Amino acid sequence: MGNEIHLGGTARSPDDVSRLKQLGLQFAEIPIIDPEKFSNLKNSFQELRKNLGLYYLCHGPREGDPNDIGTLENTYLPKLMQILTIMPELDMRLLTVHLWLDPRFVNPELITHKIGLLGRLIDRAKEMGITVCLENLSETASHMAEIFRVLPDLGLTLDLGHAQLLTENNTAFGFLDRYPDRIKHVHIHDNRGGNSSSDDLHLLVGEGIVDFERAFQRLNEIGYRKTITLELRPAEIERNLGSVKQLLYDSGFRIKVA
């Protein structure tokens, strides 16, 4: 028997959660961009979780200027710490964070500072039973070696679409080969490659050049048994779900039935 995974989608609103349930998905990954504004929706998300039986994962905000310590310390980290206080109320146990650590674009002093920031966030999250996962942006597995060494409790959200950008070959396979135990969550969406953030198109799986067949096969080979989010809007997920499921089945996975 193949490894069983849970399949979910991005939910930007309570209505999105309801649509994901109708599509038979097991969970919703909810972006919390502004924790103050999100507080107005928290009760609606709580009721849906109880009534529909889905569970939630959390996606944090973008960091802003990746080379500005002031923004990191005075805006980004406080938001993440506030999000940690919200997550237990929705029984969220995994937080994905955006923090650019590619030494080609972020200066070494900032990378050192960001590692310390992640350490503080992880320490607080551990007290609350929450796993913190760093999402790969343009980093390679080699770029992450020192970060994973210093932060043994840091997980990885492996984004197969991001891994196709700023590179000739998809960098996801380096992470799959070197750090299979760090991969706690997976994001899927497609693109046509490219060298800028504008190339992060979030196309339906199969509309770009990401080799999902090979990636899914490798995930199954390493014994991956966790969660995969389709980072698309619900209407797009509905159009793409059948082909995604078939790719997963053909790669040897079983999908948890809601």
Segment 78-128, tens digit of pLDDT:
999 999 999 999 999 999 999 999 999 999 999 999 999 999 999 999 999
Give the count of alpha carbons within 13 A of 236, CB side only. Answer: 18
DSSP secondary structure code for residue 41 in this structure: T
The rounded distance, in Å, linking the Cα atoms of 107 and 87 is: 32
Contact 158, 183 (CB under 8 A): yes
The rounded distance, in Å, linking the Cα atoms of 258 and 17 is: 13
The rounded distance, in Å, linking the Cα atoms of 22 and 82 is: 31
Take residue 104 and report the two structure tokens written for it.
């080609």
What is the dihedral angle through the alpha carbons of 142, 193, 99, 136, rounded to the nearest 10 degrees?
-50
Q: Which CATH architecture has domain 4-255?
A: Alpha-Beta Barrel (3.20)
Predicted confidence pLDDT, tens digits, the chain (258 residues): 689 999 999 999 999 999 999 999 999 999 999 999 999 999 999 999 999 999 999 999 999 999 999 999 999 999 999 999 999 999 999 999 999 999 999 999 999 999 999 999 999 999 999 999 999 999 999 999 999 999 999 999 999 999 999 999 999 999 999 999 999 999 999 999 999 889 999 999 999 999 999 999 999 999 999 999 999 999 999 999 999 999 999 999 999 986
Query: Which residues, 6+ apart, have CB-to-CB distance to 232 below 8 Å?
Result: 9, 10, 189, 202, 204, 240
Going from N- to C-terminal start, the domains of the chain cover 4-255
Q: Provide the whole-model pTM.
A: 0.98
- Angle 7-9-11 (CA atoms, 0-180°, nearest 5)? 150
